[in-house]
């Protein structure tokens, strides 16, 4: 096979965005509210890492803000959190119509934050399983934004996979899927320095050529997308899942935040676990508090996933405290490190895990056809609950990391889960180690049986 240099070089070449620099805008109150929420819940205070975890640091999503300017016109903004850049893409009645179709009201002085997934950013490393990670990672972020808005004193309305917003997102990128939306009211005045965004540049991108605003999908992105879509036209359809209304979460005056603001800055994903033991009461407190907040926000009784907490008897200091209510707790004696490593797909840095929260659901609920699948709801709930565990573990001093590379059948047998259930996510806890080589940060997807 002959590779010709000239066409190959043209494919590899890049150029600047061009079109000049759009004019800078002064953000109106609603946009400032949204950016303050993103500062706390998405960007984080450490420039070397985001406020939420992501498999392979892929962050397979993008963020849009819908809000009104000082003249009362509703606009659509696109956010680049890495560079703290926000650009106005369009404004006018079509944005209001999209909100109406999504059954979302734009709060006075507030905004609607929309998250859209870009599955290829994860699939290019993890293959098909990257779509699973895309859903879990975006759910992490959505829950963190909910908690960030609450901690700033705003009232919030949640929507998962809302209809009507797809055309707005697809206009600027074909291979994206609306994941969720969050309507945030104005943040009360005098709510501390976190209530004001910092370092953001807002520009009016409408002055540039329309074609330059539209993201042209990479050929690999289009290929990943076409492997997911269910319609006859790959550019017009996406993975099918029902739109779901989630309840309003109202913050009452004088009520303490669900999560203190300090938790957003202290959360981290452990690189691995060191030998040692952890108090069972800390594990119980972490998971119990996370589940309590989760059910306060999403009181959908009986909706998967189910949660089972696996405790390794030799690595958890057992006491007389009972496990969290409504949670299955399995104490497993003499579980060798080798068995844990095998169940975690040979990820040796997880061998000393002390406890694992397994989130699982009936296989039939994940694969049912004709629009009856609960797949997206299960993955949303699993990612949201895991994010709460991250934040609560930081308060208890537990090391924690979400694990997507695992053998579901092995964990099913180890934990005595129902035979017709699949594990969709695992959250491992234990003693922190600062210098473990985390295989997931390498280019090779070892946890999915890829070999270098």
* pLDDT tens digits for range 78-101: 999 988 999 999 999 999 999 999
Report percent pLDDT > 70 for the chain.
86
| pLDDT over 50 at 332, yes or no | yes
Predicted confidence at residue 238, as pLDDT, reads 63
Q: What does DSSP say about strands 316-317 and 278-279: parallel, antiparallel, or unpaired?
A: parallel
| pLDDT over 80 at 50, yes or no | yes
β-pair partners for 400: 429
Mean pLDDT of 338-342: 95
Instruction: Give me the long-range contacts of 219-225 (CB less than 8 A, separation at least 24).
Output: 220/120, 220/124, 221/118, 221/120, 221/175, 222/174, 222/175, 223/120, 224/119, 224/120, 224/123, 224/124, 224/130, 224/175, 225/119, 225/120, 225/174, 225/175
Predicted confidence at residue 29, as pLDDT, reads 93
**pTM of the predicted model as reported, rounded to 2 decimal places:** 0.92
* pLDDT tens digits for range 371-384: 567 899 999 999 99
Choice between 293 and 325, residue whose per-residue pLDDT is larger:
293
| 310: confidence class by pLDDT, cuts 50, 70, 90 | very high
* Neighbouring residues of 274: CB distance < 8 A, sequence distance ≥ 6: 352, 430, 431, 432, 433, 436
Nearest Cα neighbor of 418 from 367, 360, 368 is 360
- Phi, psi angle pair for 47, to nearest 5°: -65, -15
Report percent pLDDT > 90 for the chain.
52
| pLDDT over 60 at 370, yes or no | no
Q: Do the Cβ atoms of 181 and 165 come closer than 8 Å? A: yes
* pLDDT tens digits for range 115-150: 999 999 999 999 999 999 999 999 999 999 999 999
Predicted confidence at residue 234, as pLDDT, reads 47
Mean pLDDT of 21-46: 89
Burial classification of residue 30, based on how many CB atoms lie within 10 Å of its CB (0-12 exposed, 13-18 middle, 19 or more buried): buried
Mean pLDDT of 220-240: 73
Q: What does the alpha-carbon distance between residue 221 and residue 380 come to, in Å, rounded to a whole number?
A: 23
Of the ranges 12-16, 154-158, 417-421, which is most confident? 417-421
Mean pLDDT of 239-260: 65
* pLDDT tens digits for range 163-216: 889 888 888 878 999 999 999 999 887 666 667 788 899 999 988 766 566 677
Q: How many CB atoms lie within 10 A of CB 347?
A: 23
| 237: confidence class by pLDDT, cuts 50, 70, 90 | low
Predicted confidence at residue 211, as pLDDT, reads 58
Predicted confidence at residue 19, as pLDDT, reads 57
Burial classification of residue 68, based on how many CB atoms lie within 10 Å of its CB (0-12 exposed, 13-18 middle, 19 or more buried): buried
Q: What does the alpha-carbon distance between residue 238 and residue 233 come to, in Å, rounded to a whole number?
A: 9
What are the structure tokens assigned to 169, written together?
Answer: 């997102």
List the Cα angle 160/66/251 in 5-degree steps: 60
- Phi, psi angle pair for 91, to nearest 5°: -155, 160
* Neighbouring residues of 229: CB distance < 8 A, sequence distance ≥ 6: 237, 238, 239
Q: What does the alpha-carbon distance between residue 35 and residue 75 come to, in Å, rounded to a whole number?
A: 15
Choice between 390 and 211, residue whose per-residue pLDDT is larger:
390
Q: Kindly write down the DSSP assignment for every residue of 11-46, as one continuous string.
A: HH------S-PPPB----HHHHHHHHHHIIIII-S-
Q: What does the alpha-carbon distance between residue 434 and residue 10 come to, in Å, rounded to a whole number?
A: 44
* Neighbouring residues of 379: CB distance < 8 A, sequence distance ≥ 6: 132, 135, 136, 139, 424, 425
Q: Do the Cβ atoms of 337 and 356 come closer than 8 Å? A: no
| pLDDT over 80 at 369, yes or no | no
Least confident of 15-19, 138-142, 302-306, 347-351: 15-19
Predicted confidence at residue 323, as pLDDT, reads 77
Q: What does the alpha-carbon distance between residue 58 and residue 272 come to, in Å, rounded to a whole number?
A: 19
| 244: confidence class by pLDDT, cuts 50, 70, 90 | low
| pLDDT over 70 at 236, yes or no | no
């Amino acid at each position: 096979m002959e590779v010709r240099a000239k066409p190959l070089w043209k494919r590899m070449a890049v150029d600047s965005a061009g079109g000049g620099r759009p004019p800078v805008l002064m953000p109106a109150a609603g946009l400032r509210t949204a950016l303050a929420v993103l500062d706390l819940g998405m960007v984080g205070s450490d420039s070397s890492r985001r406020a939420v975890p992501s498999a392979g640091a892929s962050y397979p999503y993008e963020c849009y803000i819908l809000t009104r300017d000082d003249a009362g016109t509703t606009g659509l903004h696109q956010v680049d959190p890495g560079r703290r850049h926000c650009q106005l893409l369009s404004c006018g009645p079509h944005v209001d119509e999209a909100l109406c179709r999504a059954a979302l009201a734009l709060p006075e002085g507030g905004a609607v934050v929309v998250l859209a997934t870009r599955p290829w950013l994860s699939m290019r490393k993890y293959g098909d399983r990257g779509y699973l990670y895309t859903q879990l990672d975006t759910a992490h972020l959505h829950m963190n934004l909910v908690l960030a808005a609450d901690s700033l004193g705003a009232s919030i309305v949640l929507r998962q996979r809302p209809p009507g917003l797809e055309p707005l997102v697809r206009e600027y990128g074909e291979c994206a899927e609306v994941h969720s939306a969050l309507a945030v009211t104005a943040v009360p005045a005098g709510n501390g320095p976190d209530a004001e965004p910092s370092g953001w540049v807002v520009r009016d991108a409408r002055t540039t050529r329309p074609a330059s605003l539209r993201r042209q999908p990479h050929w690999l992105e289009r290929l990943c997308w076409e492997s997911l879509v269910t319609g006859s036209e790959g550019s017009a359809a996406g993975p099918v899942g029902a739109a779901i209304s989630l309840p309003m979460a109202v913050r009452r005056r004088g009520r303490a935040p669900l999560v203190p603001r300090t938790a957003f800055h202290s959360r981290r994903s452990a690189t691995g676990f060191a030998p040692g033991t952890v108090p069972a009461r800390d594990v119980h407190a972490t998971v119990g508090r996370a589940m309590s907040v989760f059910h306060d926000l999403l009181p959908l009784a009986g909706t998967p996933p189910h949660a089972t907490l696996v405790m390794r008897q030799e690595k958890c200091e057992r006491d007389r405290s009972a496990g969290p209510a409504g949670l299955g707790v399995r104490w497993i004696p003499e579980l060798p490190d080798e068995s844990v490593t095998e169940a975690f797909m040979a990820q040796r840095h997880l061998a000393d895990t002390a406890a694992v929260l397994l989130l699982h659901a009936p296989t039939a609920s994940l694969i049912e056809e004709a629009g009856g699948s609960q797949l997206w709801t299960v993955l949303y709930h699993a990612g949201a609950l895991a994010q709460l565990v991250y934040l609560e573990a930081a308060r208890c001093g537990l090391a924690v990391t979400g694990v997507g590379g695992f053998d579901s059948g092995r964990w099913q047998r180890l934990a005595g889960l129902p035979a017709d259930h699949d594990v969709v996510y695992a959250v491992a806890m234990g003693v922190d180690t600062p210098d473990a080589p985390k295989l997931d940060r390498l280019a090779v997807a070892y946890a999915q049986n890829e070999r270098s």
